[in-house]
Structure 1
Amino acid sequence: MTDSATPRVRQMARARQGAVAAAAIPAVVLTSLASTAPALAAGPAMSSVLAPKAATGARIAAAQDRIAAHLVAARVPSRVTVAAAAATSVVVKSGDTLSGIAKKHGVGVASLVKLNGLASADRIHVGQRLTLRAGSSARTAAAAAAPAGTYTVVRGDTLSGIAARRGMALGSLLQANGLKATSTIYPGQKLKVSGASAAGRTSGGKAPAAAAAAPAGTYTVVRGDTLSGIAARRGMALGSLLQANGLKATSTIYPGQKLKVSGASANTASSQLVPSTFLHYTYPAATVSSANRNKAILLSRNLPSRAEMKSIIAATARKMGVNPALALAHAYQESGFSMSAVSPANAIGAMQVIPSSGEWASQLVGRRLDLLNPYDNATAGVAIIRALQRTSATEQIGIASYYQGQASVRKYGMFSDTKRYVANVLAHKKAFS
C-alpha cells in the first residue's frame, strides 16, 4: 500500500502472503444439473400415420381419451421447485433496514434486536452478519455432528481458519489429509484433525494441557467476536467458556462485555498465524502483533468467499468510477480475493491495505473505514487506486504506487519487484476486461 516509508523498507513491507494466503481458499459448493431431451418412441411410417381413418365409435373414444390426457398434462408443471430451507443468517447490504430484513425472512424486529444484541433497531451496518433464528449455526451443528478426530467443512471455511481453530499447524492439517496449500475444500468434506475441536476438545476428549496450566483472566469482547472464536484463541473448550460465564451456545455477546477466560492470551494464541519475517526481513514486534490480532479476528468471522469478494470489489469499483478490471487485477495480485489475508507488514484483507493507508482512504471517502469489514476493505483499496491513477502520469506509475508507494516511485523509480508487480497487474487486468 502507499505510504512514505523508506523505499527499501517499503519494498520489503509489501510481503506477499505465500502459503498463508494461498491456503485461505474458501470451501466452495459444487453442484451439477443434467437435463436430457425425451427420447422419441419408434412408430409407424409417416404415410400410415397421416392416412385418413374411418370415424368409427372406437376411434372417436380413443381420440377423446388422448385429448383429455393432453389437457391434464398441460396443467401439470414439468418441474417442481423444492422450497429452500429457511435462512439462518443474513449479511447486511447497502440500503438494508432491520424492519426490511425482518419482513423478508418472516421474523420479528424485536427478535432480531434480541438475538443480535443490538442497541437499537436503527444501528446496523453494511457487512454485518445477523442471526435470524436462535440455535441454528451451521458451523456449530457440523462440529457437533462430526466424530472425534474429524471436522466437517461448512460453507465459508478455509484451511488456515480450520487449522487455527483446532490449534494445529497448517502444514500438519495439510499432511494429515494429503492436501496442498492450494487445495480446494467443499462443504460436507471430512478432514482429519487434531488439537482442540470446535467444542474445544481433543480427539481423546481431554482439554489441552497448555490451557489447563494457563492462568485465568478476563477478555473484553470486541466487534466481530464469536464465542467459538474466543474459545479457540484462548485454547479453551467452548463448553468451559460457556460454563464459566453462565452462557449458552445460543447466547449473544456484545462489544465491551467482560468474559471469564483461561488459556493462552489472545496475543500468544494468534502468534503463529502471521510470521514475523519475510524475505529475510524481520518486522517490528508491534506491527507483527497487530497483524496477528487482525488475522485472528478475521478467521473468527464468517467472511465472504473469494467469488463473493470478487463481486464486492467489482461492484465497489463501478460505484466509485474505477475500471472494475483494474481493481480486480490489484486484488487478485495482492491476495487472490482472500478477505482473511494479512501480511507481516499488517496489510489487511483482499485489497491488502495497511492501517496508515486505511486512514488516508477514510479521508478520501469522507467516513471512517474498517479494514476488517469486507465492504470497507474494498472501498479503501478502490479509493486509493482511484486517487493514485488521478495523480500519476501513467497507469503503470499508478499501479506501481499502490505497491511501492507514490513518493518512493517518484523519487527512486520502480524497483525490480515493482516492475514485476506492474506487469502482473496489467496481465490480470487484460484477463478481467
Structure 2
Amino acid sequence: MTTTSSPKQPPRPSLPMIAATTATLPAVMLSSLALAQPAGADTRPSAIPATLAAAMEAQAAAAKAGVIPAASVPAAIPAGLQPARVTPSSHRVVRGDTVSGIAHRYGLSTSAVLRLNNLKVNSVIYPGQKLKLKGASAPAPRQAAVTAAAASTGAKTYTVKSGDTLGGIAARHGVKLSQVLGWNRLSLSSIIYPGQKIRIGAGAATSPAPATPAPTAASRSYTIKSGDTLSGIAARHGVRLADVLSANRLKVTSIIYPGNKLVIPGKSTAPSPVQPASSVTPLVPSSFLGFTYPAAVVSSANKNKALLNASPVPSLAQMKSIVADTARRMGVDPALALAFAYQESGFNQRAVSPANAIGTMQVIPSSGEWASDLVGRKLNLLDPYDNATAGVAIIRQLIRTSKNLDHAIAGYYQGQYSVSKYGMYSDTKTYVAAIKAHRKNFA
C-alpha cells in the first residue's frame, strides 16, 4: 500500500518472546563408600580385638580400591561413547526451514549442502522441496572461537533463530551491519544458522584494526564515531579522501569501526571537492509522484531498503509463485493477488517507497499491524512470505467489507475510509483499471 490514508488501527499489544533452551547431558554421580559403626548404649571406648581390627582394615582397603577418583570422571560423555548422528539421504523442506538451519541440524557444512543441490547462497527453498544430504561433509569448527572472543572482551552474544538475517540482527540491537560483520569476522555473503552465536556489542573488534603509522607533527589523530564515513571524515577535516586513505593504508572499500583511530594528515594545499556524507544520494528518495514525505518516514524507508539490499530475497518468478500460493491458501483469487503484486512492485521484494511501503505487496507498517491482527500473528514485512500474507490478508478484508470489488481495489491504493468519504480520485480510478487488466492477464 503506497498511501498512509488507510484507517488507523488501535495499537496491538506486544507479543511475548519465547526463549528455547537446549537440554543438558545427564550428570554422572559417584558417591564415596564409608563404614559406620552402630552407636551403642555404652559410649565408653572399648578395645577392639586385633582380629576384628584387621578384618575392618582389609574391608576398608577393598572399598577404597573400588572407588573411581572424582577428578578422573569426565564432565561430558566421551565422543566415542556418544550416539552416532544418523544423517538421512534427503530432507523434505517445511515452513521456516533454511539451508543453513537444515545443514546445522544434521551436522553438515552449509556450503556442501548448497553444492550438492546446485543452490546458491541467495537461493530460496520452498515447503515440500527435497534437499539431498548424502555426501555432504561436516563443517569446520569455529563457533567456539566466536564465543570465547565475546567472553574475553565482555561483549554480549545473540543466538540466531530461524528466519534471522545479519541485517535484521544488527537493526534489532541498534548497531551497524558492518559492525556485526567485523565483530564476527563475517562478510555479506556469510551464512548464519539457527543456534549460532553472534557477537554483539562494545568489545574490541575481532578483526585487527588497520595498521596506522604514527602521526607526524603536521598530522593529528581522530577517533571514529558511529555513523562516520571515510569521505565524511576527510571533508570535515578539510583534507583529501585520497590522503586519508594513504595515511591509514586503507582503500575506498575498507570498513571502519567506532573506537578505532585514524591519522588525519596535514591539510592539502589544494583539496579536491569531497561530497559530504549528508549529501550522498539516499537509497529511497523523499518524494514520489509529486508528494514529499516526512523525514522520519523516509529515514525508516531507507533503513528497510538497506536491510532488504543486504538480505537474500526470492527472484521475481519465485516471488510470483509465493504470492499465488499464499492467495490460494487464504481463499483469495490468485489472479487478483498477482495483479496487485505486479502493479505495486513487479514482484520485487526489495522495493521500498518513500511512504515506507515495503516489499512485493508494498504494505506500510501501520497496515502491516492491521494485517497481523487479521491473521492472528505478528507479520514481518521484510520476510517475503509474511509480506505476501499481509497483502493478501488486506485484499481479503477489503473485499469482505467493501460494497463492490472496484471499491475494494480502490481501498488498497487510496484507503477504504477515504474512498467511502470522498469517492475515488482520478489516479485511483486509473489504479483500479490497471488492477482489473492485470487480473485478466493472470487468470
TM-score by length of 2: 0.47
Q: Which has the higher contact order (CA 8 A, sep 6+)?
A: 1
TM-score (structure 1 length as normaliser): 0.48
Structure with a larger share of its residues in helix: 1
